[in-house]
Chains A and B, each alone.
Chain A
């Protein structure tokens, strides 16, 4: 950790963090606002003699990830919202085959081709699986360039520990903005232990056949496989749930927000506190698993909640499930690439707290 602080774009910091985490194979396809990430990997992966492929499509890229991950290599792809939609079939297959990998979504506004400005409209897609079948991916939501780098770095080992793909859900603002960032030590991919499931080198080692697949046509067996996977999800919920709390202890109103929206809420909170309003901030860092127990605890203490999102209201449903009727839950959002301002959120806080008294 002898590193000095560097000024970098979020996209590039994610790339550097992945290289340092020992990512051995990256497969991408251009789309704004994550192009700088693909460009960064093109330069730096090739410089290190690792695999970089600009695939012919997003679908090809995610299936290349499947292939690379099957060999036990640390593999990654990245895209932005419409491109992530195209990858969903592949992500479902990766989950069905229990393969680790890292997928980065530098989200933009939708639906459809939508726009290129920042958005949090992919929350449902990210946290509900996204593709077909019974599964989840682990979803990490950074709020800054530093955290985008840290979470990407860690995503590889988390993914391997549970054999579940990890989705890093950023947005166009985090991808495009520059902040100071300090990187963790570089991991040599050759130093990583071999994966027990990895295919390849069978002739040299004489080991028995290994088969990486998501297909199983025997219902009794497939059900059992899914149940075993869900037991692992239970373990993830216990071990991995992460969040940040700011001044929630005495709060009459807790803002719930992740990523960029949480930065806006922090500013609104500081303005509200200066006006004597008791406002707190709860920021989920893992969107799946969602920190519902921690929110439930706050609901039991009498706080009410305001979910602030860059969407028409998606995470608010998880907040309501966590609160489970014990407190009022309001929503404020902007969408289509609009980012709420600190003043708008403050006005909403004043409206809600005014209404109550």
Chain B
């Protein structure tokens, strides 16, 4: 199994955190991982993109140019999905902010209202965690089970109070698929 994912959104949506958390959880599940955030133009409201690969074997190029799955968190990133998704691949769309789907009839497109789900749980900032749950369910690449100890080793201790909310977001994301 090798799952190559391309993640895109605007700066501040937690694209980089999502990618980092995805590979951290995958590593804890025993997979090889690589996460490359496109650097240089990081700012709130700017473009945030990341190449993310998890695999059972050695990972070749860290750059995702033919994605098995694409995560699109805002409308402006839709053209990226149209370009980078492989034939018959998977596109996960944050339907709270994406009103017009990618024009890729060959792809499986799943719409997740990440912002609404996150707000219902308590904070729009965990929309990325909702998406992570959805990505896990839709790809089957990683399980994201028994997350509490994993997140405890990921977050510094002062943020541990936020872990139950993050787990709720992941679970809600899984159920939304």
Q: How many whole Å from A40's CB to the nearest CB in chain B?
A: 16
Question: Which A residues are CB-close (under 8 A) to B33?
Answer: 7, 178-180
Across-interface contacts of A179 in B (CB, < 8 A)? 32-35, 59, 62
Chain A residue contacts of B63, Cβ below 8 A: 173, 264, 339, 341
CB nearest to A174 among chain B residues: B62
What residue of chain A has the Cβ atom nearest to residue B39's Cβ?
A176
Whole-angstrom distance from the CB of B28 to the nearest CB of chain A? 9
Of the listed stretches B19-27, B96-104, B121-129, B164-172, chain A binds: B19-27
> Contact: A342 with B37, CB < 8 Å?
no
Contacts of A173 in B (CB 8 A): 36, 62-63
B61 touching A264, Cβ below 8 Å? yes
A32 CB–B CB distance under 8 Å: yes
A-B contact number at CB 8 A: 70
What CA separation (Å) do A144 and B35 show in the bound complex?
A: 11
**At the interface, yes or no: B65 with Cβ under 8 Å from chain A?**
yes
Given contacts A7-B27, A178-B23, whether A341 and B61 have CB atoms under 8 Å apart is yes
The answer to whether B40 touches A177 (Cβ under 8 A) is: no
Is the pair A116, B39 in contact by a Cβ cutoff of 8 Å? yes
B66 partner residues in chain A, CB cutoff 8 A: 341-343
User: CA–CA, A248 to B34, complex, Å?
Assistant: 26
Complex-state Cα separation, A266 to B53, whole angstroms:
15
Report whether A267 and B61 are in contact in the complex, using a CB–CB cutoff of 8 Å.
yes
Which one of B23, B37, B39, B62 lies within 8 Å of A263 (CB-CB)? B62
Question: Is the beta-carbon distance between B37 and A180 smaller than 8 angstroms?
Answer: no
Q: Any chain A CB within 8 A of the CB of B162?
A: no
Residues of B within 8 A of A144 (CB): 34
Given A177-B34, A180-B27, A260 and B40 contact (CB-CB distance below 8 Å) = no
Chain A residues engaging chain B, CB cutoff 8 angstroms: 5, 7, 32-33, 116-117, 144, 172-173, 176-180, 260, 263-264, 266-268, 270, 339, 341-343
B56-94 to A contact mask, C-beta < 8 Å, 1/0: 001111110110000000000000000000000000000
B4 to nearest A CB, angstroms? 10
Contact residues in B for A176 (Cβ distance below 8 Å): 36-37, 39
Q: A178-B20, A178-B23, A263-B60 are in contact. Are A341 and B36 (CB under 8 A)?
A: no
Interface residues of chain B, those whose CB is within 8 Å of chain A, are 20, 23-24, 27, 32-37, 39-40, 58-63, 65-66
Measured between beta carbons, the chain B residues less than 8 angstroms from A268 are 60
Contact B27 A263 (CB under 8 A): no
Which B residues touch A178, using CB under 8 A? 20, 23, 33-36
B residues within 8 A CB of A172?
A: 39
Query: Are B60 and A264 in contact, CB atoms less than 8 angstroms apart?
Result: yes
CA distance A268 to B40 in the complex (A): 27
Query: Please, how many angstroms separate the alpha-carbon atoms of A7 and B60 in the complex?
Result: 18
B65 / chain A contacts, CB cutoff of 8 Å: 341-343
CB closest residue in chain B, given A5 = B27
Q: Do B39 and A342 touch across chains, with their CB atoms under 8 A apart?
A: no
**9 further contact pairs, Cβ within 8 A, besides A144-B34, A177-B35, A264-B61:** A7-B33, A116-B39, A173-B63, A178-B23, A178-B36, A179-B59, A180-B32, A263-B59, A343-B66
